[in-house]
Amino acid sequence: MSLKVGQKAPDFESYDQDGNPIKLSDFKGKKVVLYFYPKDNTPGCTAQACDLRDNYEGLQKAGYEVLGISSDSVKSHRKFIDKHELPFTLIADEDRSVHEKYGTWVEKQMYGRTYMGTARTTFIIDENGVIEEIIDKVKTKEHSKQIIK
């Protein structure tokens, strides 16, 4: 991973689940949990999103805005949010340009097959846009505990 704690988080522009433009710089002055995940409605990603949903109030009380990002479409994100009643924003990165900036589009292996995919990674970004923490060993069922210690 190319980004390190203490570096400025790269700004980006993409679209949320409703097709509205969204930029990281829109959240200047707020702490951000920017979590990259592989795919809407898959078991691990659903467990992670639901854990963040179930602990969203605590995350907000701690001052965090939660932003999920994957290479799924705006339409897929809207369905995922509706199905699981997710209270936070999901960002569509279909061209993977945000993944590229954050170093989360990586070569992976499964069953001896090599392919490109998302490295499940969370960036905790402070009010000034600086990376405070990088969580690359995400526990999907208890991710919020990894964020709020």
Residues tagged active-site: 45
Distance of CA 48 to the CA centre of its chain: 10
Burial state string for 56-88 with b = 16 or more CB within 10 A and e = fewer than 16 = beebeeeebbbbbbbbbbbebbbebbeeeebeb
Q: Name 105's bridge partners.
A: 118
